[in-house]
Structure 1
Amino acid sequence: MARRRTTRSTRSGKGTGWLGPTLLFLAVAFPAAGLLGALQPLTGLPDEVLQLTQFGPALGVAAVALFRPSLVRGLLAGGGARGPRGVLLLSAPAITALAVAGTFLLHGRVPIHDPGSLAAPFGVVAAAQLLGACGEEIGWRCLLQPLLRTRFGPLGSSAAVGLIWGCWHVQVFTRAPAYAAGFLAAAVAMSVLLGLAWEQVGAHRLLLAGGFHTLVNLGMLLFLDEESGAVEPMVLFGVAGVLVALPWVLAGRRPARTDRLATT
């Protein structure tokens, strides 16, 4: 009986020691990102190519690994790959496409950033964006999300990570309130999408999350003008993120309803 009680406690997330690693991760990821951002101008590296702040979460993971190496190994390992990886990656350009469609409907044109005008060749930018995205996602989606999942479940943990991830981008709060709201909506929506996808996709999480993140960043870089501080592109981006995440939420709720009906 005692053994069964321990198993139920572990599955429900009670007593799994999530709080300490979470606080340590956040205590390192936030200030480390700020420090790396302060060092960026000294490197001469254009923000358009790579932002050093993106490696703050990776340093947070390293800090947790110093004290809980087995926990970090287990969280990063994930499970067996068995789900719709292609659908997950296609969701990223779908977000950009919806935001672009909204821009076209409002103005009859779409601002396109010529890839040839970037600070580096497009292939270099894409590779650097993937590297930076993985620097973020190893913390947000590969460590923090599965860590919080043990306590708050798939949807709650994904929404919480999305809100933390959005607030980590502190620079958005220097913009107009609607701009910040649009970004936070997109951050939470994309986090929920990725978190629910993890229920079906086990292995290769870092590459999948990094690839998704990279595709979103490249889409914003080429087709949206949100970096200028314009509110409308960011609001459209937030709405698009919510619309693309919604089918994943509905699909994630369907098995739960089926299970309840089967038990009645």
Structure 2
Amino acid sequence: MDYGGKRVLNGVNLEVSKGQIIGYIGPNGAGKSTTVKIMLGLIDSYQGEVEIFGQDIASGDPSYKQKIGYVPENAEAYDNLTASEYLVFTAELYGMGRGYAEEKAAKLLREFDLEDVMHTRLSSFSKGMKQKVLIISSVLHDPDLLFWDEPLSGLDASSMMVIQEILAQLAAQGKTIFYSSHIMDLVEKISNRIVLLVKGEIVADGSFEELQEMSEEGSLAEIFNQLTGFTEHRSKAEQFVAIVQEGQDYA
């Protein structure tokens, strides 16, 4: 795919099955967000074919989007709405009835310990509290396909553990999840398939164990560095610290 005169994606070919948690990773600018936006129908100027739920998304029929949930990396919530109002608003966009949406939203907010602030404006929420609301909004309509981009941003350790278990249980029920994050140890733990994108091309696609075999490295972070060609992290850090510690004449 060309975007702004620049080739962004090149020969990306993915076949995804139900129940997979796909760790979709790569350096900044690799094309991860572009891929997701194409699948969401937010970008239509691409070459190739994209089928979701057996439907060619270029057909012009947007009904497939009702079965998708999305948490973007930099989500903008309507801060003048309360948590309940925001969730009901997004639920109605997916065709849910207001009464049912209010009831279900209240239950999910309660599970995230947000019951006491469900009628409070989002403008007063911390980043972690907002993130929980965004996660709820992505699953409120019980979608079959989830795209989560850095979904754990701002969450504390206990909330992260809950989210990881939620993902595992959703996958066990046949939901398909694209999970993108720069936190490699989390991707390693929750993904049963890892796709590594570099400069618009897939350079690795398989389980963590399969990626280990092809790279002969231990952790996913080490595999990531080897396959992306980034091996200068130690020298860059040493240079940075050396500059920080440079002497200065304050006279």
TM-score by length of 2: 0.25
Structure showing the higher helix proportion among its residues = 1
- Give the greater-gyration-radius structure (CA): 2
